[in-house]
């Protein structure tokens, strides 16, 4: 059975609490598709969305353990609240050397296990994609990766499109944290995370 999975950086408890509170605030202002919580919509920073045969998950966990052992903890510096495609709100992070290296290692380790699927949306967008995005999609099943990777923590998706004024009343918060662990989650609607399958501390092969 083919399923969607998300390989993520786990955020600190403090940042997770902040993200949930901002997501809840947005839900009081606009109709949203989801609100971050502790079970079905877990705050995270995505490294790679991937489709896998369910039977390949154990092999992917082994690969992620090796990736984690090759990295050391590092700091993530937030940039600003971002509003994309008229519906998505997130907190962006600086794409510094450490997170780019981790992203690349995950792609190399897990990309070979992916099941090639093409969504209707991707087919529609193909002709408008740059050659770089097309190549990323062909190789890894995702277009905004490698040099186009933008680290961020998604806060919610609005049901209806609006404009950037939705950002005006968001509180100033410190979303900085130290990345200590990565994890494999089952992918929910709108790129959300639920049902963690494995967590790995950076710098060793200990499972959290």
Whether residue 183 contacts residue 7, with contact meaning beta carbons closer than 8 Å, is answered with yes
Tokens of 124: 């529609």
pLDDT of 119 > 60? The answer is no
What is the pLDDT at residue 204? 73
* % of the chain with per-residue pLDDT over 70: 93
| Mean pLDDT score, 165-193 | 95
Backbone torsions φ then ψ of 125, nearest 5 degrees: -85, -10
pLDDT in tens, 127-155: 778 899 889 888 888 888 999 999 999 99
pLDDT of 112 > 60? The answer is yes
């Amino acid at each position: 059975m083919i399923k969607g999975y998300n390989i993520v950086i786990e955020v600190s408890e403090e940042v997770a609490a902040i993200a949930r509170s901002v997501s809840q605030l947005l839900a009081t202002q606009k109709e949203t598709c989801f609100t971050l919580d502790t079970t079905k919509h877990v705050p995270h920073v995505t490294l790679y969305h991937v489709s896998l045969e369910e039977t390949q998950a154990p092999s992917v966990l082994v690969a992620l353990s090796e990736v984690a052992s090759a990295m050391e903890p590092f700091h993530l510096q937030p940039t600003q609240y971002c509003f994309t495609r008229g519906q998505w709100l997130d907190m962006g992070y600086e794409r510094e050397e450490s997170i780019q290296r981790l992203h690349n290692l995950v792609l190399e380790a897990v990309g070979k296990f992916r099941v090639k699927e093409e969504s209707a949306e991707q087919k529609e967008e193909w002709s408008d994609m740059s050659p770089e995005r097309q190549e990323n999609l062909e190789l890894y099943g995702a277009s905004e990766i490698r040099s186009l990777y933008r680290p961020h923590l998604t806060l919610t998706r609005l049901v209806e499109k609006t404009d950037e004024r939705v950002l005006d009343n968001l509180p100033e918060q410190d979303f900085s944290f130290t990345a200590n662990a990565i994890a494999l989650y089952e992918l929910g609607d709108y790129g959300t995370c639920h049902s963690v399958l494995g967590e790995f501390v950076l710098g060793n092969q200990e499972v959290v």
